[in-house]
Amino acid sequence: MRVTNKIMQSNTLYNINQNKLLQDKLNTQITTRKKVNKPSEDPVIAIRALRLRSNLDQVTQYYDRNIPDADQWLKITEAAIDTTVDVISGMIDECRRGSKGSLTSSDRKTILESLKQYRDEVYATGDSDYAGRTLFTGYRTDMKLSFQNPESKQFTITEQLNNLAVDSKTYVDAGNLNTINETTYNSGSITTEQQVVKTSVNRIRLAYDNLDAGVTPKVYQTIGYTADGSPQRQALITPTVVSKNATPDPYRVVSDPSFSGYDPNAAYFIPETGEIILGENAFNQVMNLAPETEITVEYSKTEWASGDLNPIHYYACESDGVEYNKSYLTEFGKDAKQEINYDVGFNQTINVNTTCDEIFDPGIRRTVDEMISMLDEIGQLDGVLTKLKSMQGNSAYNQDAVTADIEAVEKAQAYLTDTIQKRFERGITDFQGYLDQANEALTAVGNRSLRLELVENRLNSQMQSFTELTSLNEDADLAELAIRLKSAELTYDASLASTGKMLSTTLLNYL
């Protein structure tokens, strides 16, 4: 086969160009520091790079975004619960002070003011938020836990209880003593010592006070569930709606056998205090149920004060035709929990939120309000006693009546002092229960934070591993590339020199 100059020229140019392409490839690898810049250069490396980058991106998303967000949520939650623990601990301290038998009027005022401050703070802490999302309201992160301002909005609330919710309270009937003043006083005794009575009242204390007086509550017991989980109920008791100031006194009707209107079958709903008080037979009817039997009380409330808990975060309720938490009443939904879960790893989630029912029990404020009411009542009697004593020796008043009223006030004070002391002693136990509940929630948050920290450490290790694998797969060895590039340059220069010398010889040189 005859090799012409044209063939030699074509082959030489092709080879020189291939060498130049190699130089370009090596130079690009050095510049980009990557083994391949197009998938076609090495499909195996390209496919492996896609998989490693995908894994690294996911780990980075978890590590750089999801975990810090979850961590901040848990930290702010922990701080809010810490504050709640401090508030409830303060309430316990005030209860210990109030349980002392030798409290002066000044002492009671100090305790009263402290309790009011703690009462206002405890649920305000529940309105804590993170990045505009309320922490303790489940899925409704755009709503506050409590009403921020007084509001008129009717809610029909179904509160789910059992007979363990039935308790007793000591009731002191002081008659009209706290209305006595120099203007209204007449020559006759308003209340005698014999009319001051102390009794023990059995009751169901609902979550709210100042309820709608025009709506009779419905009290049911749940006797079973249908196939779809809907409850089957039957009426348990039918309370009569009465005011706490009604005549005859409803508290004495249900609790005082010596009272002329005593009725052991009676059950009264007191809207002002949010109580259903039970006569002996009604009480036995409720207590004869098994503790696991659900009791539902359906009632209505329209006027909401600032700081009142919003019922849609706690109960099945209805307002303006909209039903909230209806599933709570079913067999399958009564223990439903609105958990907010964050993806923090491959097929791993963590619950970041704590719901209000775990910490902010409605009974906290109800208990404090009850204590405040008792301190207010004895404070009023202190003022009445001062006025009556100022009337002693004044011929404008019947001194026998004044003396009788003073004795009645002093008896009422003695009853109330004993009642307050015992209520504060019981309050220590009540608030300790709420404190244990808050500490349990705090421990749960701490455990979740610990788990999140472990996940974070593992992801950090995974991210380093994926980064290293990605680098090994994609990153070029610069030293090796530099040597290869230098070799390609020498080869290129040599090929040019040899080609120039070779192509300068023609057929004429051989003739």
- 227 CB contacts (<8 Å, ≥6 apart)? none
Residue 195 has a pLDDT of: 85
Contact 145, 137 (CB under 8 A): yes
Contact 136, 274 (CB under 8 A): no
H helices of 99-234, where? Answer: 105-124
Distance CA 364, CA 303 (A): 20
Query: How far is residue 135 from each of residues 25, 306, 307, measured CA to CA in Å?
Result: 56, 19, 17
Dihedral angle over CA of 425, 427, 432, 435, nearest 10: -150
pLDDT in tens, 237-286: 999 999 998 999 999 999 999 999 999 999 999 999 999 999 999 999 99
Checking if the pLDDT of 57 tops 90, the result is no
Residue 487 has a pLDDT of: 75
Dihedrals phi, psi of 152, to nearest 5 degrees: -110, 110
Contact 319, 155 (CB under 8 A): yes
Residue 187 has a pLDDT of: 46
Type of residue numbered 92: I
Residue 466 has a pLDDT of: 63
pLDDT in tens, 304-329: 999 999 999 999 999 999 999 998 99
- The stretch 174-179 carries a mean pLDDT of 78
**For the sheet containing 151-161, what is the strand order?**
231-237, 218-225, 295-304, 151-161, 316-319, 322-324
Domains of the chain, by residue range, sit at 5-58+460-510, 146-336
171, β-bridge pairs: 199
Distance CA 469, CA 462 (A): 10
Structure tokens at 407: 């004795």
Positive or negative: CA dihedral 44, 47, 49, 52: negative
Checking if the pLDDT of 511 tops 70, the result is no
- 137 CB contacts (<8 Å, ≥6 apart)? 143, 144, 145, 313, 355, 356
Place of tokens 């690294």: 56
* Residue 508 banded pLDDT, cuts 50, 70, 90: low
- pTM of the shown model: 0.81
pLDDT in tens, 449-474: 999 998 888 878 777 776 666 656 55
Strand 348-351 and strand 341-345: the pairing is: antiparallel
**DSSP state string for 422-448:** HHHHHHHHHHHHHHHHHHHHHHHHHHH
Residue 306 has a pLDDT of: 92
Can you tell me whether residue 151 is helix, strand or coil?
strand
Nearest to 171 by CA among 377, 342, 407, 382: 377
CA 405 from centre of chain = 50
Q: What is the CA radius of gyration of the chain?
A: 41
Residue 222 has a pLDDT of: 94
Place of tokens 């500490």: 439
What percent of the chain is modeled with pLDDT above 90? Answer: 48
Strand 240-241 and strand 267-270: the pairing is: parallel
Distance CA 194, CA 9 (A): 133
* Residue 294 banded pLDDT, cuts 50, 70, 90: very high
Contact 92, 432 (CB under 8 A): yes
Distance CA 506, CA 511 (A): 10
